[in-house]
Structure 1
Amino acid sequence: MEDQKKKKRLDWIGLVISGGLLVLFVIATRLNKGLVDQLISDSFSFTVKYFGAYWQVLLLVMFVIGLILAFSKYGKVRLGKIERPENSNFRWIAMILCTLLASGGVFWAAAGPMYHFLTTPPQFSGVESGSMESAYPAMAQSYLHWGFSAWASLGTLTTIVLMYAHYHKDQPLKPRTLLYPMFGRKINKKSFIGSLADIVSIVAAAAGTIGPIGFLGLQVGYGLQQVFGFSNTFLTQSLIILFLAVIASISAATGVERGIQWLSRINVGLVVVLMVIMLILGPTMFIIDLFIGSEAFYIQNFLTMSLYRLDEAWLGAWIIFFWGWFIGYGPMMAIFISRISRGRTIRELIIAVSLIAPIVSNFWFTVVGGSGIFYEMEKPGSVSTALNESGMPAAVMAILNQIPMGIVLAIGFIIVSVIFVATTADSMSYTVAVTLSGSDEPDRFNRVFWALMFGIVAVALLAIGGESTVGTLQNFIVVTAAPVSLLLLPSLWDAPRIAARMAKEQNIVEKK
Structure 2
Amino acid sequence: MDTAIPTADTSGIRRIGDPLVLALTMGFIFLFVGWSLTDAEGLSAVINSGFTWTAKYLGSFFQLLLLATFFIALVVAFGRAGVARLGGLEKPEISTFRWLSMILCTLLAGGGVFFAAGEPVYHFVVAPPVSTAEAGTAEAVAPAMAQSFMHWGFLAWAVLGSLTALVLAHAHYVKGKPLQPRTLLYPVLGERVMQGWFGGVVDSLCVIAVVAGTVGPIGFLATQMSFGLHELFGVADTFTTQLVILTLLAGVYMTSAITGVHKGIQILSRFNVILALVIAAVIFVFGPTLFLTNTYLTSMGEYVSSFFAMSTLTSETAPDWWMKWWTVFFFAWFIGYTPLMSIFVARISRGRSIRQTILAVAILAPIATSIWFTLLGGSGIYYQLTGAFDLTSALNNFSFDVATLTVAEALPGGTLMAAAILLLTTIFVATTGDSMSYAIATVGAGHDEPHYLVRAFWGGAMALMAAILLYMGAGQIGVLQQFIVITAIPVSLIILPSLWTGPKAAYAMARSQGVAL
The TM-score, its normalising length taken from structure 2, stands at 0.96
Q: Summarize the Cα distance change of 1:387–1:306 in structure 2 as closer, same or farther, 3 Å threshold.
A: closer
Q: What one-letter code is carried by the residue in structure 2 that aligns with 1:254?
A: T
Partners in 1 of 2:84 and 2:9 — Cα distance? 35
Count residues with an aligned counterpart: 507
> Are residues 1:300 and 2:273 paired?
no
> Are residues 1:148 and 2:159 paired?
no
Cα distance, 1:313 vs. partner? 2.6
> Are residues 1:468 and 2:475 paired?
yes
> Are residues 1:437 and 2:445 paired?
yes
> Are residues 1:66 and 2:78 paired?
no
Q: What one-letter code is carried by the residue in structure 2 that aligns with 1:503?
A: A
Equivalent residue for 2:187?
181
Q: Among 13, 20, 31, which residue is 1:24 paired with? A: 31
Instruction: Give SS of 1:123's match.
Output: coil
Alignment of 1:107-126 (within 5 A): 107-124=114-131, 126=132
Contact 1:159 1:334 in 2 (8 A): yes
Equivalent residue for 1:223?
228
Q: What one-letter code is carried by the residue in structure 1 that aligns with 2:387?
A: K
Q: Summarize the Cα distance change of 1:2–1:329 in structure 2 as closer, same or farther, 3 Å threshold.
A: closer
> Are residues 1:45 and 2:52 paired?
yes
Map Cα deviations across residues 381-412 of structure 1 (whole Å, 9 max, x no partner): 44435545781121122123323311111110
Partners in 2 of 1:2 and 1:169 — Cα distance? 15
Instruction: Give SS of 1:420's match.
Output: helix
Instruction: Give SS of 1:32's match.
Output: helix
> Are residues 1:290 and 2:277 paired?
no
Contact 1:383 1:399 in 2 (8 A): no
Equivalent residue for 1:166?
172
Equivalent residue for 1:377?
385
Cα distance, 1:3 vs. partner? 8.1
Instruction: Give SS of 2:87's match.
Output: coil
Cα distance, 1:496 vs. partner? 1.1
Partners in 2 of 1:491 and 1:4 — Cα distance? 30
Contact 1:328 1:481 in 2 (8 A): yes
Contact 1:66 1:350 in 2 (8 A): yes
Partners in 2 of 1:434 and 1:402 — Cα distance? 43
Contact 1:382 1:398 in 2 (8 A): no
Q: What one-letter code is carried by the residue in structure 2 that aligns with 1:357?
A: A
Q: Among 246, 253, 265, which residue is 1:260 paired with? A: 265
Partners in 1 of 2:62 and 2:401 — Cα distance? 29
> Are residues 1:359 and 2:367 paired?
yes
Cα distance, 1:502 vs. partner? 2.2
Partners in 1 of 2:113 and 2:511 — Cα distance? 44
Alignment of 1:429-508 (within 5 A): 429-464=437-472, 466-508=473-515
Partners in 2 of 1:486 and 1:386 — Cα distance? 37
Give unpaired runs (5+ residues) of structure 1: none
Contact 2:292 2:378 in 1 (8 A): yes
Equivalent residue for 1:392?
400
Cα distance, 1:242 vs. partner? 1.2
Q: What one-letter code is carried by the residue in structure 1 that aligns with 2:485?
A: V
Alignment of 1:239-250 (within 5 A): 239-250=244-255
Contact 2:179 2:447 in 1 (8 A): yes
Partners in 1 of 2:193 and 2:396 — Cα distance? 49
Partners in 2 of 1:24 and 1:214 — Cα distance? 18
Equivalent residue for 1:419?
427
Equivalent residue for 1:131?
137
Q: What one-letter code is carried by the residue in structure 2 that aligns with 1:508?
A: V
Q: Summarize the Cα distance change of 1:6–1:361 in structure 2 as closer, same or farther, 3 Å threshold.
A: farther
Contact 1:74 1:346 in 2 (8 A): yes
Q: What one-letter code is carried by the residue in structure 2 that aligns with 1:270?
A: L
Contact 1:6 1:437 in 2 (8 A): no
Map Cα deviations across residues 204-250 of structure 1 (whole Å, 9 max, x no partner): 00010000000001001011011111011011011101110111110
Equivalent residue for 2:281?
276
Instruction: Give SS of 1:104's match.
Output: helix
Instruction: Give SS of 1:398's match.
Output: helix
Contact 1:384 1:395 in 2 (8 A): no
Instruction: Give SS of 1:130's match.
Output: coil
Partners in 1 of 2:138 and 2:12 — Cα distance? 58
Map Cα deviations across residues 169-210 of structure 1 (whole Å, 9 max, x no partner): 010110000001111122111142x12210110000001000
Q: What one-letter code is carried by the residue in structure 2 that aligns with 1:443?
A: H
Q: What one-letter code is carried by the residue in structure 2 that aligns with 1:15?
A: L
Contact 2:282 2:412 in 1 (8 A): no
Q: What one-letter code is carried by the residue in structure 2 that aligns with 1:11?
A: D
Partners in 2 of 1:395 and 1:2 — Cα distance? 47
> Pairwise CA RMSD of aligned residues?
1.5
Equivalent residue for 2:325?
317
Give unpaired runs (5+ residues) of structure 2: 1-6
Map Cα deviations across residues 243-301 of structure 1 (whole Å, 9 max, x no partner): 10111110010001000111000001111111111112210110011011101110111
The TM-score, its normalising length taken from structure 1, stands at 0.97
Equivalent residue for 2:357?
349
Q: What one-letter code is carried by the residue in structure 1 that aligns with 2:123?
A: H
Partners in 1 of 2:160 and 2:35 — Cα distance? 31
Contact 1:6 1:443 in 2 (8 A): no
Partners in 1 of 2:215 and 2:442 — Cα distance? 18
Map Cα deviations across residues 385-442 of structure 1 (whole Å, 9 max, x no partner): 5545781121122123323311111110111111111110110010000000001100
Contact 1:146 1:358 in 2 (8 A): yes
Map Cα deviations across residues 66-92 of structure 1 (whole Å, 9 max, x no partner): 111111111111111322111111100
Q: Summarize the Cα distance change of 1:191–1:26 in structure 2 as closer, same or farther, 3 Å threshold.
A: closer
Identity within the alignment, %: 45
Partners in 2 of 1:480 and 1:22 — Cα distance? 14
Q: What one-letter code is carried by the residue in structure 1 that aligns with 2:140?
A: S
Equivalent residue for 1:404?
412
Map Cα deviations across residues 30-78 of structure 1 (whole Å, 9 max, x no partner): 1000000000000101111221000000000100001111111111111
Partners in 2 of 1:423 and 1:215 — Cα distance? 15
Q: Larger deviation: 203-212 or 278-287?
A: 278-287
Cα distance, 1:501 vs. partner? 2.2
Partners in 2 of 1:163 and 1:20 — Cα distance? 30
Q: Larger deviation: 300-309 or 362-371?
A: 300-309
Q: What one-letter code is carried by the residue in structure 2 that aligns with 1:233?
A: T
Q: What one-letter code is carried by the residue in structure 2 that aligns with 1:421?
A: V
